[in-house]
Structure 1
């Protein structure tokens, strides 16, 4: 009897295990063997599907680069980025994986692609007034800072605040940064 493997399911299990391992242990602390063990497969399958540990890392973190963030209004962009990095639905803490891979060319390239890449240019292009590039980077830095406090630094208050509560403060920061004079548009009802 021949047992047929579900390649897509195996690949998905490997990616899930890799996301969790990279977030928890960083690039250097994650082995191909450990990822394969977590996925319940032989380590040779990592190389078959991804070519190398670097290839696995890129694939595991590339899902964090959705093209549908491009062209959004700055407020919606910030909300979506906050959801993606500070409140990831699968709990894998993508910012932790990217930060813990810093110092390696692959990690630095993924951090640049996931956080900066085309997003900063697109966001800066949507901002009027002085220094749109600086304000765009500040907006992304705010989101990343929240994500770091929630997912990397243990025991923080931000780690316990729910997304709706945090959104009120986040929107105030976004309003201040997207407005050309820093005042932001008035709140609804004011």
Structure 2
């Protein structure tokens, strides 16, 4: 009688392990350079289970990207006052020390694929730009929100793709004070030294 429960638990654990391994791989090298064998080996299971649970590598990638998007959306919820800092923390989330693997990284590394580019564009606009725009009470709010989003994206690129030494070694707490100063200026929030009243 306990056997079905154990199988169900094993299935859920295996599926979770495949998702975690896929996210790590896609984040490390992108979609095209990742094979189902790599993912299965990292998860410690047979590669056929990827097709059983997800149907294809493409569907597995879609699920990883969707989970990352939902995660970023949750990170964007809360008070407006610390939204830029929460978005920075979301963009720099790490699965393991010394490896940048935030929710945008897998999409960035796979942006040669049209569907990944489209998903990246959607996530940047819906999660980052639209939420940051709400903090700006100036005529050029969209430009300011996009500039700050571009900096978030640049931080991910520098850490995960270009591997620039100082940014790659920095933790989110090292970067936060600088990011908050620039965010205050761009968004025209109290405490910024911007005198631009356009």
Shorter-chain-normalised TM-score: which range?
0.7 to 0.9
Which residue in 2 is equivalent to 1:93?
A: 101
**Cα 1:164/1:14, change in 2 over 3 Å:** same
Alpha-carbon distance, 1:125 to partner:
3.0
Alpha-carbon distance, 1:118 to partner:
4.8
Please list the CA deviations of residues 144-175 of structure 1 after superposition, one character each: whole Å capped at 9, or x if unmatched: 11122122222421112232221110001110
Please list the CA deviations of residues 49-77 of structure 1 after superposition, one character each: whole Å capped at 9, or x if unmatched: 2222111111112222233314641x522
Please list the CA deviations of residues 81-123 of structure 1 after superposition, one character each: whole Å capped at 9, or x if unmatched: 2112224254461333211111213311331233222542232
Equivalent residue in structure 2 for 1:39, among 26, 43, 47: 43
Which residue in 1 is equivalent to 2:190?
A: 185
- The number of residues matched between the two structures is 181
Superposed counterparts of 1:141-152, under 5 Å: 141-152=150-161
**What is the CA–CA distance in structure 1 between the aligned matches of 2:133 and 2:94, rounded to whole Å?**
25
Q: Which has the higher contact order (CA 8 A, sep 6+)?
A: 1
Task: Compute the TM-score of the two structures, normalised by the length of structure 2.
Answer: 0.80
Superposed counterparts of 1:155-174, under 5 Å: 155-174=164-183
The unaligned stretches of length 5 or more in structure 1 are none
Equivalent residue in structure 1 for 2:146, among 134, 137, 151: 137
**Cα 1:162/1:100, change in 2 over 3 Å:** closer
Q: Secondary structure, in 3 states, of the residue corresponding to 2:168?
A: coil
**Cα 1:89/1:40, change in 2 over 3 Å:** closer
Q: Secondary structure, in 3 states, of the residue corresponding to 2:58?
A: helix
Superposed counterparts of 1:49-60, under 5 Å: 49-60=53-64
Equivalent residue in structure 2 for 1:76, among 51, 74, 82: 82
Task: Compute the TM-score of the two structures, normalised by the length of structure 1.
Answer: 0.83
Is the CA contact (8 Å cut-off) linking 1:19 and 1:92 kept in structure 2? no
Is the CA contact (8 Å cut-off) linking 1:62 and 1:110 kept in structure 2? no
Is the CA contact (8 Å cut-off) linking 2:54 and 2:60 kept in structure 1? yes
Which residue in 1 is equivalent to 2:185?
A: 176
Structure 1: 4+ residue segments shifted above 3 A: 89-92
